[in-house]
Every structure is written in structure tokens, then in C-alpha cells.
């Protein structure tokens, strides 16, 4: 299995109920978010160019603060003899990474600025900077915090919900409706024909960047049906020989990307108004700007281009 950003770390055991007794001052990993930004110790900007058009520069290094179970930082915070400097809006137990308990916490919107040496940073800027396992767990943490925050009340009767101890769910005590963390499956399609791949731009992409097509699965569709529909809607071409490539958890905000490659059968490119700003066939030796290696889109394009260059 190839490494995919955000995939669950091999040494991670997910859990829901926090351990009964934490050893005093035992180490724990804390994934603390304020909005969509993670609390990290952060180095100066790296002189290396960023591979992500959405990220002007990445930090030269970053790590999650080493907090103890009681919420005290082992490093930057403790040096100043300072506890976590705000009361979290919510905390969730995530499980254990190589035997160390992992927690997610949400800072309130009005939390004061972090002490010296700590900063809030977006996940995209931390890709390839933060340790891979911590980066992946940060992606898990932000999704679970968002889900927990959005399911405080029952969607059916409006009563306050309660967290279940034995599984990741919030249950309504009045009508018993259970809410589980939500995932939105999305299909990604790379269409190919003789020595060329079809790439497109959505209006919200950074200037000049093209990527594979993607769309959300609708109720009642198989992944293959979704792919055929999305490709026809977005660029007006028909495809066949749909082959699975790989999948990726994508926490922006809660997708599971399922990527495929397929062959062009018929149709001229006709970009869908409002959805697709431009779409073209690109020769594998002359490609436009592509998404960062953080995304499965780039891994799919790279793998197919390598394969097709080998065939040429
Ligand atoms: Zn209810």
C-alpha cells in the first residue's frame, strides 16, 4: 500500500473512551484547533519553494506541542510554566499512537493569542513539514471536532444530544436518533486517450492550475455511475474501462476521495457553465500547473503520466 497523506497511521489504534487513569504528567499528543488552524510550535519560513499554489511558503519545521495529559505543555508552554491558556470549547479522545494517548481540542473563538513559540497554522501549510502520523491525526481530529460541534442537538427533535461512551456517536436521549461522523464520498476521474489526459479547472482553483475531474456521489449511485455522470456533466465526454486507483481521506471538510482512471470513448470537450472554467486534453510531456502532492489528484496524475510515458 502506498503512503497517502491523511491515511490513518499504522501505529494508531482509534478509541472513543478516554483511559480511566492517566499517569500524572504522562505525555499525550494534543491536536488543538482554532477554526481550521492547528496549534503548533513553528520554525521560520522555509526557503524551499512550496509545491502548493495555495500555500505561498511552508515553515521550515513544525511540531505539535508536547502537552502532558493534564493539559500542560512539556516544552514551549512549560518553559514559561504556563498551562493551556484557555478553556477548550470541546475535547475528544482519539486513541493511541504508538502507545501515547491522543486528544483533540477546540479553542474558543475568543482565545487569546498563543504564547511565544506557538502559533495557529493551516493544515495545507503543514503538509510534509509536520511528522506524517501527526499530520494524519490532525486531519482526523479536525473532522471529529467539526462533527461533534455540529451535532450538539438532535436533527430530528432538537433535544441536546449525548456522546456515546462505546462508539463514536452522539445520541438523542429523547428520540434515540444516533448521529455518526459524516463522510462525503467523492469520485475522482482521470480520463485518458492516446498519449493525452483530460484536465480541468474549477473557477476557485489558483491561477493556471488544472486537475482531474471530481464530484460527490449521489444517493442511489455506484462509484462507477457517479464517475460516468460527473464526466459527462462536467466536460460532455463519455468514458469506459473505469479502473480503481486508490482512495484518500480528505478533511476539507469531510470527504473520502475515491480515484479512478478511465478511457475516453466519445464526445468533444464541452465545459459545464459555472462548474468548469476550462478543460483540455494535455499531452503527458506538456502538462500545466498541477495540485500539490498533498492530494490524491496529484498522485493519480503522476502515476498515469509515468505509465503513459513508459508506453510512448
Ligand atoms: Zn431527538
Q: What is the pLDDT of residue 76?
A: 40
Residue 68 has pLDDT above 70, yes or no: no
Mean pLDDT value across residues 158-184: 97
How far does residue 133's CA lie from ligand 1's centre (Å)? 37
CA–centroid distance, 152 to ligand 1, in Å, is: 11
C-alpha 153 to ligand 1 mean position (Å): 8
Ligand 1 centroid to Cα of residue 18, in Å, is 26
* Percent of the chain surpassing pLDDT 90: 84
- Whole-number Å distance, alpha carbon 19 to ligand 1 midpoint, is 29
Higher pLDDT, 312 or 12: 12
Q: d(Cα 142, Cα 123) in Å, to the nearest integer?
A: 10
CA atoms within 13 A on the CB side of 63: 8
Q: Ligand 1 centre from 17 Cα, in Å?
A: 23
Share of the chain above pLDDT 70, in %: 91
Predicted TM-score (pTM) of this structure:
0.92
What is the tens place of the pLDDT at every residue in 119-164?
999 999 999 999 999 999 999 999 999 999 999 999 999 999 999 9
Is the predicted pLDDT of residue 307 greater than 70, yes or no? yes
Cα–Cα distance measured from residue 73 to residue 66, given in angstroms and rounded to the nearest whole number: 5
Say how many Å lie between the CA of residue 149 and the centre of ligand 1: 16
Give me the pLDDT at residue 197, please: 98
Amino acid at each position: 500500500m502506498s503512503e497517502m497523506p491523511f491515511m490513518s497511521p499504522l501505529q494508531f489504534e482509534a478509541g472513543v473512551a478516554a483511559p480511566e487513569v492517566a499517569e500524572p504528567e504522562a505525555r499525550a499528543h494534543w491536536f488543538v484547533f482554532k477554526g481550521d488552524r492547528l496549534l503548533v510550535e513553528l520554525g521560520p519560513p522555509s526557503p524551499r519553494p512550496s509545491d502548493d499554489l495555495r500555500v505561498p511558503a511552508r515553515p521550515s519545521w513544525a511540531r505539535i506541542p508536547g502537552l502532558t495529559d493534564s493539559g500542560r505543555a512539556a516544552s514551549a508552554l512549560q518553559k514559561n510554566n504556563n498551562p493551556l491558556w484557555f478553556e477548550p470549547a470541546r475535547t475528544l479522545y482519539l486513541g493511541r499512537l504508538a502507545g501515547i494517548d491522543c486528544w483533540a481540542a477546540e479553542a474558543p473563538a475568543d482565545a487569546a493569542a498563543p504564547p511565544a513559540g506557538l502559533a495557529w497554522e493551516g493544515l495545507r501549510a503543514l503538509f510534509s513539514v509536520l511528522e506524517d502520523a501527526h499530520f494524519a491525526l490532525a486531519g482526523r481530529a479536525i473532522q471529529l471536532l467539526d462533527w461533534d460541534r455540529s451535532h450538539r442537538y438532535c436533527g430530528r427533535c432538537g433535544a441536546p444530544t449525548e456522546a456515546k461512551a462505546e462508539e463514536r456517536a452522539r445520541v438523542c436521549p429523547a428520540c434515540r436518533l444516533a448521529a455518526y461522523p459524516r463522510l462525503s464520498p467523492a469520485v475522482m476521474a482521470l480520463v485518458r486517450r492516446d498519449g493525452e489526459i483530460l484536465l480541468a479547472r474549477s473557477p476557485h482553483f489558483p491561477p493556471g492550475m488544472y486537475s482531474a475531474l471530481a464530484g460527490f456521489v449521489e444517493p442511489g449511485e455506484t462509484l462507477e455511475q457517479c464517475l460516468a455522470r460527473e464526466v459527462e456533466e462536467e466536460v460532455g465526454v463519455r468514458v469506459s474501462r473505469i479502473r480503481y486507483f486508490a482512495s484518500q481521506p480528505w478533511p476539507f471538510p469531510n470527504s473520502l476521495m475515491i480515484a479512478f482512471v478511465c478511457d475516453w470513448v466519445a464526445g468533444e470537450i464541452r465545459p459545464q457553465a459555472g462548474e468548469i472554467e476550462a478543460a483540455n486534453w494535455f499531452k503527458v510531456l506538456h502538462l500545466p500547473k498541477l495540485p500539490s502532492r498533498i492530494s490524491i489528484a496529484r498522485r493519480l496524475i503522476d502515476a498515469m503520466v509515468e505509465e503513459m510515458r513508459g508506453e510512448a
